[in-house]
Structure 1
Amino acid sequence: MSHIELGVDETLFPGISGPMLFRPQTAAPMSDLVEVLLRGENTLSRGERELIAAYVSSKNDCEFCTDSHSAFAAAQLDEGMPLVLRVRADPDEAPITPKLAALLRIAGAVAKSGREVTTELVGTARAQGATDEEIHDTVLIAAAFCMYNRYVDGLGTLPAGRAEDYQAAAEAVVANGYLPLAGRAPSALNVAAS
């Protein structure tokens, strides 16, 4: 049970969905931000950006965000969940491009502190072909997910009860994104009802 009364059945609205329904005024800009960061026009694929979100969430020990964004990444990467799990364990040992590995090192640094991002990390990413926009977006995805992770865990919300719930939500995210659909909670967040 969350630390505050959210006014919803948390088994139906786990993780971030309950707090977002509790405060729709703050949910709207948060949904807009994640939609742009993870689904907007970008040279990094949607799967790669979800992988950054899952990796940062795992570094922050946020169970709901780690599991949900791992499922969302897996649904959009040809290699699926086996790759996601390898990246979460050690991006330097995972079968990904050197550029993505360098960006994940930057994301991991942001998860510790923004000041952990060094000119060396950025230089390595550039040497591996990362553009300034990709570096920028990696830092912003990582920073945003630090906020989302702390939002979920700071309110003590529950993760989804079953792995299948995240799979259903992944299908909804791939099809519809993160913005609310008319007349219902954001499909990506309402994992049990997706």
Structure 2
Amino acid sequence: MPHIELGNDAPGIVGLMLYRPDTAKVLNELAEILLRGENTLTRGERELIASYVSDLNRCRFCHGSHAAFAAAQLPGGAETVAQACADLDTADISAKMKALLRVAGAVQRIGTDVTAALVEAARENGATDREIHDTVLIAAAFCMYNRYVDGLGTYAPEDPKAYEEMAGLIVERGYGASVAARQEASAG
């Protein structure tokens, strides 16, 4: 049960976005740019960063949803996401992604934990300055999204199928699609 009355029963950030469509617009625009916009990191890799940070923050809704979004777009699917979140050293992901996820993990703890050595390790493994920038921004944004979702006590489905259903919509139509679908359903 959310800490405030949202006037809807949508899970996680979707319920919050239905409650405040004006803030939903800018939050969805940010997610769209960071996770689906033009980039040398794939959409799946960027979703993996979001999922990884959300897992570190113990945000069940955001981790579940972004793990499903990443799985739908990464070779190895859910197994790759689970490996990365469980143990970066043994995960079946590129050395560049391991280095970027270490940067993201440092951001999750506190921004000043991002050291020159972490950045240099990312560069040595092929990351560009833009990829390092975007990793830091995705990690920082997801700390905000996670705290928004959990700070208001939103509902997080237990069933992974709920997240997989959202994944199809997000992958196909983008951020804002799940909110739009809920709005259409309630209007119809």
Q: What is the TM-score with the length of structure 1 in the denominator?
A: 0.91
Q: Distance in 1 between matches of 2:24 and 2:180?
A: 9
Q: Is structure 2 residue 105 aligned with structure 1 residue 108?
A: yes
* Total equivalences in the alignment: 183
The 5-angstrom pairing of residues 8-47 of structure 1 reads: 8-9=8-9, 13-47=10-44
Pick one of 157, 165, 179 that aligns with 1:185: 179
Q: What root-mean-square deviation, in Å, do the aligned CA atoms of Structure 1 and Structure 2 show? A: 1.3
Matched-pair contact (CA < 8 Å) for 1:111–1:142 = yes
The aligned counterpart of 1:75 is 72
Q: What is the TM-score with the length of structure 2 in the denominator?
A: 0.94
The aligned counterpart of 1:162 is 159
> Residue 101 of structure 2: SS of its match in structure 1?
helix
Q: Is structure 2 residue 60 aligned with structure 1 residue 63?
A: yes
Pick one of 86, 89, 92 that aligns with 1:89: 86
Pick one of 20, 44, 49 that aligns with 1:52: 49
* Structure 1 residue 121, shift from structure 2 partner: 0.2
* Structure 1 residue 150, shift from structure 2 partner: 0.1
Q: Distance in 2 between matches of 1:186 and 1:85?
A: 29
Pick one of 126, 149, 152 that aligns with 1:152: 149
Q: Distance in 1 between matches of 2:176 and 2:92?
A: 32
> Residue 39 of structure 2: SS of its match in structure 1?
coil
Q: Distance in 1 between matches of 2:162 and 2:101?
A: 27
Cα distance change, pair 65–186 in 1 and its aligned pair in 2 (3 A): farther
What fraction of aligned residue pairs are identical, expressed as a percent? Answer: 59
Unaligned runs of 5+ in 1: none
